[in-house]
Amino acid sequence: MNDFTIKDGVTAAEVASYLRRHPTFLHEYPDLALTLLPPREEGKTTSLASYQLDVLRDKNRELGRRLTELVHIANDNEQLVQRVHALNVSLMRETTLAGSVRRIVAGLREDFSTEFVCLVLFHADPELPAAEWLIVQPQGVPALPEFAEFFRQDEALCGRLQENKLDFLFGAKAEQVRSSALLPLGDKETPSGMLAIGSVDANRFYPGMGTLFLKLIGETVAARIARRPG
């Protein structure tokens, strides 16, 4: 609506505000309904009533679209809950550390459709398998200066990682990784490692995305790594 001022000093915005506060105004002055010109497409005329009906229809369509989106989000979240639960159950069944780390990586690849996984642990254990997806760094955070800020923040990091981080985590496959999620393991005072998940899809992980389920996975992995037989 164009911004203009009526001769007596009343602005269009004030008129609109008054009408919003008095929705029955046209009941008292029905002749105005015949003279008002609602918006219309070029070459087409319409009544105020039909215009109002069109507006309501548009609002209903928008509400229907938003409801459909919420239903899809709810369905996706339900599936994620089931996958996280399945990962928890599978790890509870594993009796060895080697079996657990293999299950973690297999579960992320199969159930969460992730192309690349890297598990970095700060505790050397003879039971740990030799695998391209496992990096053992007994010296911990001090040996990884490029990740120092990440461990200080102690939060999941999503998006495009810097080249030096990608090279460390994914080696020869780093060039294929378009987006990543990096999860700290353990608590801020005594970190036990980190879990990196990579994707060829540049939009799979992005800054600002919800990280609740990622944090749950990180906590699950950290809890299992910390558990010792006996």
pLDDT of amino acid 204:
92
CA distance 150 to 156: 8
CB 152 within 8 Å of CB 171:
no
* Position with higher pLDDT, 16 vs 180: 180
CA 223 to chain centre: 24
For 148-179, the DSSP string reads: HHHHHHTS-EEE---HHHHHHHHGGGGGG--E
Confidence of residue 37 (pLDDT cuts 50, 70, 90): low
Please tell me the pTM assigned to this model: 0.67
CB 103 within 8 Å of CB 129:
no
Superfamily classification of domain 94-226: GAF domain (3.30.450.40)
- For residue 49, pLDDT beyond 60: yes
The DSSP output letter for 9 is: S
pLDDT of amino acid 39:
64
CA distance 26 to 79: 51
CA distance 116 to 188: 25
CB 206 within 8 Å of CB 154:
no
Q: In what order do the strands lie in the sheet with 179-186?
A: 134-136, 116-121, 191-199, 179-186, 157-159
Q: What is the pLDDT of residues 68-100, one digit of tens each?
A: 888 887 888 788 788 888 888 888 888 888 899
Cβ density class 106-123: b for 16+ within 10 Å, e for less? ebbeebbebbbbbbbbbb
Tell me which residue of 215, 183, 213 sits closest to 197, measured CA to CA.
183
CA distance 71 to 114: 24
What the block records as the tokens of 47 is 């009544």
Q: What is the pLDDT of residues 180-213, one digit of tens each?
A: 999 999 988 889 999 999 999 999 999 988 888 8
